[in-house]
Amino acid sequence: MGGMLVAIIIFCLVCLFAYRIRKLPEAIRTILLILGLLSGWFALFEIISYLEANPYLAAIPIALGLGYWFWRRKKKRTTDSSSV
C-alpha cells in the first residue's frame, strides 16, 4: 500500500478521534467530522483501486469478513441457547 493511503487513513482517524472530544466548540467539531468523513471516502477509494490492481488480495478482506460473520453467528447462538 502506498504511503498516501496510510496518511489518509491516519488523518481520518485523528479527525474522528478529535471529534469525540466534547470540550471543542461545535463549529470545530463539525469541521473535523466533515474532514474525517471526506478523508475516509478517499481512503476507501484508494483501497478499492488497490484491490482492482491486485485482485488476488481481495480474498483477504472477504475471508476476514466471513470469519467475523461466522464468529458472531456462533457467539449469538451460544448466548441465545444459554439464556433459554
Q: What is the pLDDT of residues 18-35, one digit of tens each?
A: 878 778 888 888 888 888
Asked if residues 5 and 43 have their Cβ atoms less than 8 Å apart, the reply is yes
Residue 47 sits in the same domain as residue 67: no
Residue 33 sits in the same domain as residue 6: yes
For residue 67, what pLDDT band results from cuts at 50, 70 and 90? very high
Residue 64 sits in the same domain as residue 47: no
- Predicted pLDDT at 83: 64
Put simply, whether the predicted model's pTM sits higher than 0.85 gets the answer no
Query: Per-residue pLDDT averaged across 49-77, rounded?
Result: 88
Residue 65 sits in the same domain as residue 47: no
Residue 48 sits in the same domain as residue 64: no
Residue 60 sits in the same domain as residue 37: no
- Domain around 8: 1-53
